[in-house]
Amino acid sequence: MPITPDQQAEIDTLRANPQPTLRATAPGMEAHLYKAYDVLDHGFIRVIDYMGDDAAICQAARVSYGKGTKSVQNDEGLIRYLMRHWHSTPFEMCEIKLHVKLPVFVARQWIRHRTANVNEYSARYSILDREFYIPAPEHLAAQSVINNQGRGEALTGDEAARVLAYLKDDAARCYDHYAEMISDEGQQGLARELARMNLPANIYTQWYWKVDLHNLFHFLRLRADSHAQYEIRVYADEICKVVADWVPAAYGAFEDYRMGGATLSGKAIDCVRRMLKGEVVTQETSGMSKGEWREFEGVIG
């Protein structure tokens, strides 16, 4: 259970107390504020704050004084134009702050996105909770035999049972020793900043993560992608849902031009043109490598 009753009570208190503001508000996002959405076995994402909405993107693009006199339809057209033509700065005018609880090995991937602000729970200063990610059976995947960086089918039978036992037992033992090492009962107690090194990478950490909408879209494009590791993809998927409610027009454009789109190389465009003229193009006559051709076939169906 990711959230304790005490924590839930704090969240309920925050949600019970609206204040008047003159800032742009996004009703779809207000409905999400502070709530914890479960991810994996002990993780969550929570929206802590946000700045801006679809109209704010357009207002910045136009450098206008008020909300502008343009209609919602015009705003959507402008947003789609901006997205299509890689105008990134208007999307940077929206900002979101999330509270995320996630396994350390996921956090290590996540932090590679540098254009964001982060405050992580400090294991130098504080004691980590006894919570570890243990994959559900259907996610206990075998190494892919065709892609060094991918997964195959889920493990089954004895092998699955043995793996689960290792993951659970090792995490439990490492945590027991961690707790014992830092204990100051009848001993000095090891420094927390040292003891933490005994904890495996499936232990949960948490952080506040703040990012602008342009960089969030970049994160989501890479991490909500089908090639991303499952354990970070589920976080990205959950974030996608709240973003869709926050800035519906921008999210719609993102879905069409980024998530649902594809970049074709010069060679690939040439092949499409030839194929549309009726030519039968094969990998051999395409000028592409086998890998590129396979990916190209994936795009054109």
> In terms of C-beta density within 10 A (0-12 exposed, 13-18 middle, 19 or more buried), how is residue 166 classed?
exposed
Residues 6+ apart with CB under 8 A from 258: 83, 217, 221
Candidate segments 10-18, 233-241, 243-251, binder of a copy of itself by CB under 8 A: 10-18
Q: Is 254 in the site for a copy of itself (CB under 8 A)?
A: no
How does DSSP assign 59-104, residue by residue?
HHHHT-SSS-S--HHHHHHHHHHHHHTT--GGGGG-EEEEEEEEEH
Q: CB atoms < 10 A from the CB of 293, how many?
A: 19
- In angstroms, the Cα distances linking 47 to 19, 117, 168, 233 are 17, 14, 31, 18
- Strands 37-39 and 43-51, by their bridges, are antiparallel
Q: Is 294 in the site for a copy of itself (CB under 8 A)?
A: no
Question: Of residues 141-200, which lie at the interface with a copy of itself (CB under 8 A)?
Answer: 141-144, 148-153, 155, 159, 162-163, 166-167, 170-171, 173-174, 177, 180-182, 184, 187-194, 196-200
Of the residues 28, 37, 129, 222, which one makes contact with a copy of itself according to CB under 8 A = 222
Please identify which of the residues 223, 258, 273, 294 carries the catalytic annotation. 223
Shortest approach of a copy of itself to residue 75 CB, angstroms? Answer: 14
Q: Considering only residues 172, 275, 285, 294, which one is a binding residue for a copy of itself as defined by CB under 8 A? A: 275
The Cα-based distances of 195 to 182, 183, 221, 263, 281 in angstroms read 7, 10, 37, 47, 60
Is 281 one of the binding residues for a copy of itself (CB under 8 A)? Answer: no
For residue 43, give every residue at least 6 positions away whose Cβ sits within 8 Å of its Cβ, in sequence order, or none.
2, 100, 101, 102, 103, 133, 204, 235
Asked if 284 is part of the footprint of a copy of itself (rule: CB under 8 A), the reply reads no
Nearer to a copy of itself, 71 or 188 (CB): 188
Site mask for a copy of itself (CB under 8 A), range 41-80, x = bound: -------xxxxx---x--xxx-x-xxx---------x--x
Does the protein bind a copy of itself through residue 290 (CB under 8 A)?
no
Say whether residue 248 binds a copy of itself (CB under 8 A). Answer: no
- Dig out the tokens for 129 from the structure: 């909770």
DSSP single-letter state for residue 34: T
Find the binder of a copy of itself among 266, 280, 282, 284 (CB under 8 A): 266
- The answer to whether 239 is annotated as binding is no
162 is a catalytic site residue: no
Q: Is 113 annotated as a binding residue?
A: yes
Rounded Cα–Cα distance for residues 275 and 281 (Å): 7
Cα 282 to chain centroid distance, Å, stands at: 37
Q: Is 112 annotated as a binding residue?
A: yes
Cβ-in-10-Å burial (0-12, 13-18, 19+) of 277 comes to exposed
Pick the stretch among 207-215, 233-241, 243-251 that binds a copy of itself (CB under 8 A).
207-215
CB nearer to a copy of itself: pick between 1 and 262: 262
Binding to a copy of itself, residues 90-149 (CB under 8 A):
90, 92-93, 95, 97, 99, 103-105, 108, 111-112, 114-115, 117-122, 124-126, 133, 135, 140-144, 148-149
Please, are residues 259 and 224 in contact by the beta-carbon 8 Å criterion?
yes
Mark the segment that binds a copy of itself (CB under 8 A) among 4-12, 233-241, 242-250.
4-12
**Residue 44: strand pairing partners:** 38, 101
Residues tagged in the binding site annotation? 89, 109-114, 120-124, 196, 212-214, 218, 223
Q: Which residues are catalytic?
A: 223
Residues tagged in the binding site annotation for dUMP? 109-112, 120-124, 196, 223
